[in-house]
């Protein structure tokens, strides 16, 4: 599983150290999602992939099992490992979502991401406004301040923004709604990098202003106000895709 924030960290060129197992998963999964391995195609034989990735048969087989669990491939006797249709992919898997960062632009997919954000974030922030603790409010203020002081660091700004979403998710006490964080991270990473002119100081300043308003609404125990501000934040992010 991909750690929350790993996609944002990669924007600065920093890559987390990987063992052989996760390396193979990332190489094959990324190739599938970005279209290098076409839907319905059969992957190379074990011997070829072992040579290509420099791993043992055991490591390769375990990696393919993980990819199969994500819905990306299916092993068939006498056929080999075939790339599955997109309808079988587990789109709530954070790692699978992160691989879409490098995929060709797809407006229908982007619209779906924001529909999911709306459906899951709205009740989440409303619950957060009802159940937040003083410590969670303190954390919200701290991370919003980190957004305000990030300067030109897209990584620092993005990580601080994602932490705000994570605190809100924790405050909402709903484990299923918390799974939206992978969607949030992908849309945020794309919004910060799609157009450097758009993702500049003005965008970040406006985001920080809205997150300050959101924090005040949550601190004040106002779920409807919090939901309204969060809708503005989504709209700002989505505007980067126009």
Report the pLDDT value the prediction gives residue 4, as an integer from 0 to 100.
Answer: 79
Report the pLDDT value the prediction gives residue 152, as an integer from 0 to 100.
Answer: 87
79-100 confidence digits (pLDDT tens):
899 999 999 999 999 999 999 9
CB distance 70 to 29 below 8 Å: yes
In the chain, CATH 1.10.10.10 sits at: 6-88
106-239 fold = 1.20.120
Chain-centroid distance, C-alpha 11? 13
Tokens of 108: 């229908």
124-161 confidence digits (pLDDT tens):
999 999 999 999 999 999 999 999 999 989 899 999 99
Tokens of 103: 């995929």
In the chain, CATH 1.20.120.530 sits at: 106-239
Tokens of 43: 């992957």
φ, ψ for residue 82, nearest 5 deg = -105, 145
Tokens of 78: 């006498």
Please state, in angstroms and rounded to a whole number, the distance separating the CA atoms of residues 158 and 171: 20
184-212 confidence digits (pLDDT tens):
999 999 988 876 554 578 889 999 999 99
Q: What is the mean pLDDT of residues 11-23?
A: 73
Tokens of 99: 């691989």
> Is it the case that residue 48 has pLDDT exceeding 50?
yes
Phi-psi region of 133 (alpha: psi -120 to 50; beta: other; left: phi over 0): beta
- 14-23, 194-203, 211-220: least confident range: 194-203
Q: What is the mean pLDDT of residues 159-165?
A: 97
Residue 66: name the closest of 30, 100, 21, 97 by CA: 21
Q: What is the pTM of this model?
A: 0.89
Q: What is the mean pLDDT of residues 205-226?
A: 97
Scored b (16 or more CB within 10 A) or e, 24-60 reads bbbbbbbbbbeeebeeeeebeeeeebbeebebeeebb
Residue 203: name the closest of 160, 235, 225 by CA: 235
- 11-20, 109-118, 121-130: least confident range: 11-20
Specify the CATH architecture of the domain 6-88. Answer: Orthogonal Bundle (1.10)
CB distance 117 to 180 below 8 Å: yes
Please state, in angstroms and rounded to a whole number, the distance separating the CA atoms of residues 57 and 23: 14
Report the pLDDT value the prediction gives residue 232, as an integer from 0 to 100.
Answer: 97
Burial bucket for residue 91 (CB in 10 Å: 0-12, 13-18, 19+)? middle
Contacts of 220 (CB under 8 A, 6+ apart): 129
> Is it the case that residue 1 has pLDDT exceeding 50?
no
Report the pLDDT value the prediction gives residue 196, as an integer from 0 to 100.
Answer: 56
Contacts of 166 (CB under 8 A, 6+ apart): 4, 181
């Amino acid at each position: 599983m991909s750690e929350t924030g790993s996609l944002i960290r990669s924007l600065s060129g920093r890559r987390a150290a990987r063992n052989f197992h996760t390396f193979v998963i990332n190489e094959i999964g990324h190739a599938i999602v970005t279209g290098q391995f076409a839907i319905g195609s059969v992957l190379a034989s074990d011997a070829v992939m072992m040579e290509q990735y420099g791993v043992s048969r055991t490591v390769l087989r375990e990696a393919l099992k993980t990819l199969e669990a994500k819905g990306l491939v299916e092993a068939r006797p006498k056929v080999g490992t075939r790339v599955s249709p997109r309808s079988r992919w587990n789109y709530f898997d954070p790692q699978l979502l992160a691989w879409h960062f490098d995929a060709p632009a797809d407006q229908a997919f982007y619209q779906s991401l924001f529909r999911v954000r709306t459906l899951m974030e709205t009740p989440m922030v409303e619950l957060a406004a009802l159940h937040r603790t003083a410590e969670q409010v303190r954390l919200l203020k701290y991370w919003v301040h980190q957004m305000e002081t990030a300067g030109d660091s897209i990584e620092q700004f993005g990580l601080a923004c994602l932490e705000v979403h994570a605190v809100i998710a924790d405050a909402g006490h709903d484990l299923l709604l918390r799974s939206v964080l992978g969607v949030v991270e992908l849309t945020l990473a794309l919004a910060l990098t799609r157009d450097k002119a758009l993702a500049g100081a003005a965008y970040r300043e406006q985001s920080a202003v809205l997150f300050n308003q959101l924090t005040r609404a949550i601190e004040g125990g106002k779920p409807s106000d919090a939901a309204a501000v969060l809708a503005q934040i989504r709209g700002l992010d989505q505007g980067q895709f126009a």
